[in-house]
Each structure stands twice: as structure tokens, then as C-alpha cells.
Amino acid sequence: MQSTAELVLDARCGVGESPLWSVAEQALYWVDIPAGRLHRWDAQSGLSRHWQAPEMLACLARRGDGPGFVGGMESGLFTLTTPEAAALECHRLAEVAHAAPGMRFNDGRCDRQGRFWAGTMVMDMAARRAAGALYRFDARGLQPMLQGLLVPNGLGFSPDGRTLYLSDSHPASQAIWAFDYDPDDGVPQRQRLWVDMKTLPGRPDGAAVDEDGGYWICANDAGMVHRFTPQGRLDRSLPLPVAKPAMCAFGGAQLDTLYVTTIRPADLAPHEQPLAGAVFALRPGVRGLPEPAFAGPS
């Protein structure tokens, strides 16, 4: 196991989020939320490029019925296609009725059955307004499944698909919950506090699950990624050279590389954390699982 972070790309993302490894392309995709950009990095050539979205773009999943992605933006869920041109081709799948002004989608991913799950948040975190919700999108449409959240994050599913994990990144919460999850009907039940991050370094941000059921979560403000066992025990913490890791994803030819996107705060001085907003790679000594593709209506 190598715990030293390797620089993948100095992307200078304001909020680098939703890393997604393409097994077919051997390439990493991720978003820069405030810039509304979708990025791509090719592992073989090392070349990168990006596309521009018409709104802030927060989360991604591969489409299972064709090329491109499904993504959560400010006004709803969209299909996203990456043309040769610099602008994404976007078509709305579902409009969201936010509970308050100034909201957008945040963290999101598919369950093992291909349903897309994504949370919404009030962008002004200082308002401390619990207007966020966790949505499920499938053939039944876009439905709120859990409400009263501040900054929903850390979505993940156990390898057998029967446990759903969810965190709230807000300083007032800093909780990670586990739910029993019915893979047949896509309904989470029996919510319980799984980890109280107030007692640990960092706020819980985006996450990934390895093939052994370990839950890896970015510790925002602490500059590390924590791994918890399926029993909720802190197993290890891997450091990064920046303070604000945002989300992680397994990739590489053997799915044994943990890619981490990070945040570059707008008020950061040029000499402070010069690599903030970059993408890093860790070698955690475990393998991940291929990310499920979206199987819903398009």
C-alpha cells in the first residue's frame, strides 16, 4: 500500500467533484461545480479536456442505454453528451421543485440496479437551512425519498447493494448514516447514525466503497481520506497535500487506484496550497467496484 498522494492533474477546480472512472475508455471524468464544467483525463496519454454546461454541474453517472451521462445541475437532471465542440449537449430528463431559492443538486450516483440518487442543498451554507432532499430517479420519475438535509453527501452502496450510506457535510451535522436498502423497490429504511464525524478530523464529503465493503470518505478541511469498515470502525486515514478533498472514486486498469478531486476556495492566496483544486491518486491496497450505469428513462 502506498499512502503518498500522486498528482494526476493540476486542474485548479473551484469545487472538483463526482470523479467517475470509465472502464471502457480507461479515463477519469469529473466536474467543477461552480464553473459548470465536465473534465476528462486519459490515463494512457495523460491528455485532458473539458466541456461547458449551461448551469452548475454537480454529479454524474454513465448512461446504460447510449453514450454520455446523466447529470444533476441546478434546475434538474439532464442527459449530457460530449461532442467535439466545447459545449455539452444537454437535454432535461426531470425538473426539480426546490424547497427554497438558491439551491442545486450536489452529490449523486447510481445504486447497483442503475437507479440514480442525488441530493440537493442550499448553496449558501451559512444560512444553515435544512431544505435539502435526497432524490431517487428511475422509471417512476424523480421522487424525494428523504428531506430536511443541509448538505447531503457521501452517497454509497455496499457491494451487495443492501446498505445505503449518506452523509451531511454541514458543520452543524457532520453525520454519516447507514440505511437498510431494498434492491428490488429502491427504498431505504431503518436510518441510523453510523459514524459521528464531529469526533474525527474533517467534515464528511464525497465517498466510495471498495470490494470488501470499506467506505472511503473525504475528510474536508482535514486534508485526508478516511476508510471505515462495514461495522463503522475507522480503519485508516490517508493524507493529501491540500486541505479540502471533495470526493473519491476507484479507477485504473485494476480498479486499485483511488482518485480524489479537491476544492480550491475562491479566497485562497496564490502562495497557499498551490495544488488546491487538483486531482490526486492514492494506492490504498484495495480494489474498488465498477460504477453502475444509469438504467432509467432517457
Q: What domains lie within the chain, and their CATH numbers?
A: 2-283 (2.120.10.30)
Ranges of residues in the chain whose predicted pLDDT is under 50: 1-2
Nearest residue to 109 via CA among 29, 223, 201: 29
Please indicate whether residue 235 is annotated as part of the active site. no
Instruction: Render pLDDT for 135-146 as a digit per residue (tens, 0 to 9).
Output: 999 999 999 999
Instruction: Render pLDDT for 65-105 as a digit per residue (tens, 0 to 9).
Output: 888 999 999 999 999 999 898 999 999 999 999 999 999 99
Instruction: Render pLDDT for 2-28 as a digit per residue (tens, 0 to 9).
Output: 468 999 999 999 999 999 999 999 999
Contact between 162 and 181 (Cβ < 8 Å): yes
Note the pLDDT of residue 298: 66
Q: Which residues of 17-51 are buried (b: 16+ CB within 10 A; e: fewer)?
A: bbbbbbeeeebbbbbbbbbbbbbbbebeeeeeebb
How much is the pTM? 0.96
Q: Which of 32, 107, 168, 205 is catalytic?
A: 205
Contact between 7 and 280 (Cβ < 8 Å): yes
